[in-house]
Chains A and B, each alone.
Chain A
Amino acid sequence: MHGVLTKQTANAIEVKGLTKRFGGFTAVDKISFDVRDGEIFGLLGPNGAGKTTTISMLSTIISQTSGSAHIYGHDAFTEKDAVRASIGIVFQDPSLDDELTGRENLDLHGRLYGMPDRERKEVIGKVLRLVELEDKAGAQVKGYSGGMKRRLEIARGFMHKPKVLFLDEPTIGLDPQTRRRLWDYIHDLNRKEHVTIILTTHYMEEADALCDRIAIIDHGKIIKLDTPDRLKDSLGGDLVRLGVEKRGRARLIASIRKAKISKRIRETDEGIDITVANGGRSLPGIMDAAKATKVHVDYATVKRPTLEDVFINLTGKQIREEAGAAGGLRGLMLRRR
Chain B
Amino acid sequence: MMGSITGTIYALWLREVTRFLRSKARVLGAGGSPLLWLATFGVGIGSLITISKGTSYLDFIAPGIVGMTLLFSSIFAGVNVIWDKQFGFMKEMLVAPVPRAGIVLGKIAGSTTVSMISALVILVLVIAVGIIPLSQVTAIGVVLAIIMMLMISASFVSLGLIIASLINNIEGFQVIINFLILPVFFLSGALFPMNNVPLWLRGIAAIDPLQYGVDGMRGALIGISTYPVYMDLGIMLAIMAALVLIADIMFRRMQAK
Q: Which residues of A line the B interface, CB within 8 A?
A: 59-62, 81, 84-85, 87, 89, 91, 93-100, 104, 108-109, 111-115, 140, 160
**Pairwise interchain contact B95-A87, C-beta atoms closer than 8 A:** yes
A113-B95 in contact given A95-B88, A99-B23 (Cβ < 8 Å): no
Cα-based distance from A108 to B93 in the complex (angstroms): 10
Set of chain A residues within 8 Å of B11, measured between Cβ atoms:
108, 111-112
Query: Does B92 count as interface, using CB distance less than 8 angstroms?
Result: yes
Give min CB distance, A74 to chain B, whole Å: 11
Cα-based distance from A95 to B93 in the complex (angstroms): 10
**Pairwise interchain contact B88-A114, C-beta atoms closer than 8 A:** no
Query: Which one of B7, B18, B87, B91 contacts A111 once the chains associate, using CB atoms below 8 Å?
Result: B7
Query: Which one of B19, B23, B89, B96 contacts A113 once the chains associate, using CB atoms below 8 Å?
Result: B96
A100-B1 in contact given A109-B92, A112-B8, A113-B97 (Cβ < 8 Å): no
Query: Does B256 count as interface, using CB distance less than 8 angstroms?
Result: yes
A112-B3 in contact given A61-B95, A87-B95, A99-B23 (Cβ < 8 Å): yes
- Please name 15 pairs of A and B residues whose Cβ atoms are closer than 8 Å in the assembled complex, sorted by A: A81-B97, A89-B95, A98-B87, A104-B18, A108-B11, A108-B12, A108-B15, A112-B7, A112-B8, A112-B96, A112-B97, A113-B96, A113-B97, A140-B22, A160-B1
Residue of B1, B18, B22 with highest tally of chain A CB at under 10 A: B1
**Pairwise interchain contact A97-B7, C-beta atoms closer than 8 A:** no
Cα-based distance from A81 to B95 in the complex (angstroms): 9
Q: Which residues of B line the A interface, CB within 8 A?
A: 1-4, 7-8, 10-12, 14-15, 18-19, 22-23, 87-89, 91-98, 255-256
**Pairwise interchain contact A114-B7, C-beta atoms closer than 8 A:** yes
**Pairwise interchain contact B255-A85, C-beta atoms closer than 8 A:** no
A-B CB pair tally, cutoff 8 Å:
80
Give min CB distance, A4 to chain B, whole Å: 27
**Pairwise interchain contact A100-B4, C-beta atoms closer than 8 A:** no
Set of chain B residues within 8 Å of A84, measured between Cβ atoms:
95-97
**Pairwise interchain contact A111-B95, C-beta atoms closer than 8 A:** no
Set of chain A residues within 8 Å of B7, measured between Cβ atoms:
111-112, 114
**Pairwise interchain contact A112-B98, C-beta atoms closer than 8 A:** yes
A85-B97 in contact given A100-B19, A160-B1 (Cβ < 8 Å): yes
Query: Which one of A59, A93, A97, A111 contacts B10 once the chains associate, using CB atoms below 8 Å?
Result: A111
**Pairwise interchain contact B91-A114, C-beta atoms closer than 8 A:** no
Cα-based distance from A160 to B7 in the complex (angstroms): 15
Set of chain B residues within 8 Å of A98, measured between Cβ atoms:
87
Query: Which one of B2, B19, B98, B256 contacts A61 once the chains associate, using CB atoms below 8 Å?
Result: B256
Give min CB distance, A2 to chain B, whole Å: 28
Cα-based distance from A140 to B22 in the complex (angstroms): 10
Cα-based distance from A89 to B96 in the complex (angstroms): 10
Closest 9 CB pairs of A and B: A95-B88, A111-B11, A84-B97, A85-B97, A112-B96, A114-B3, A114-B1, A112-B3, A99-B19
Query: Which one of B1, B4, B8 contacts A85 once the chains associate, using CB atoms below 8 Å?
Result: B1
**Pairwise interchain contact B95-A108, C-beta atoms closer than 8 A:** no
Give min CB distance, B79 to chain A, whole Å: 13
Set of chain B residues within 8 Å of A111, measured between Cβ atoms:
3, 7-8, 10-11, 14
Cα-based distance from A87 to B96 in the complex (angstroms): 9
Residue of A89, A96, A108 with highest tally of chain B CB at under 10 A: A108
Give min CB distance, A271 to chain B, whole Å: 51
Set of chain A residues within 8 Å of B15, measured between Cβ atoms:
97, 100, 104, 108
**Pairwise interchain contact B1-A113, C-beta atoms closer than 8 A:** yes
- Select from chain A the residue with minimum beta-carbon distance to B15: A108
Query: Which one of B19, B89, B96, B97 contacts A96 once the chains associate, using CB atoms below 8 Å?
Result: B89
Cα-based distance from A160 to B1 in the complex (angstroms): 8
A114-B2 in contact given A62-B255, A99-B22, A108-B15 (Cβ < 8 Å): yes
Query: Which one of A87, A89, A91, A108 contacts B14 once the chains associate, using CB atoms below 8 Å?
Result: A108
Give min CB distance, B240 to chain A, whole Å: 26
Set of chain A residues within 8 Å of B91, measured between Cβ atoms:
61, 91, 95
Set of chain B residues within 8 Å of A95, measured between Cβ atoms:
87-89, 91-92
Cα-based distance from A100 to B87 in the complex (angstroms): 13
Set of chain A residues within 8 Å of B95, measured between Cβ atoms:
59-61, 84, 87, 89
Give min CB distance, A143 to chain B, whole Å: 13
- Select from chain B the residue with minimum beta-carbon distance to A162: B1
Give min CB distance, B4 to chain A, whole Å: 6
- Select from chain A the residue with minimum beta-carbon distance to B102: A112
**Pairwise interchain contact A93-B88, C-beta atoms closer than 8 A:** yes
A81-B2 in contact given A95-B91, A100-B19 (Cβ < 8 Å): yes
Cα-based distance from A140 to B97 in the complex (angstroms): 26
- Select from chain B the residue with minimum beta-carbon distance to A111: B11
Set of chain A residues within 8 Å of B14, measured between Cβ atoms:
108, 111
Set of chain A residues within 8 Å of B89, measured between Cβ atoms:
95-97
Set of chain A residues within 8 Å of B12, measured between Cβ atoms:
108
- Select from chain B the residue with minimum beta-carbon distance to A119: B1
Set of chain B residues within 8 Å of A93, measured between Cβ atoms:
88
Cα-based distance from A112 to B87 in the complex (angstroms): 19
Cα-based distance from A299 to B235 in the complex (angstroms): 89
A85-B18 in contact given A61-B95, A95-B89, A98-B87 (Cβ < 8 Å): no
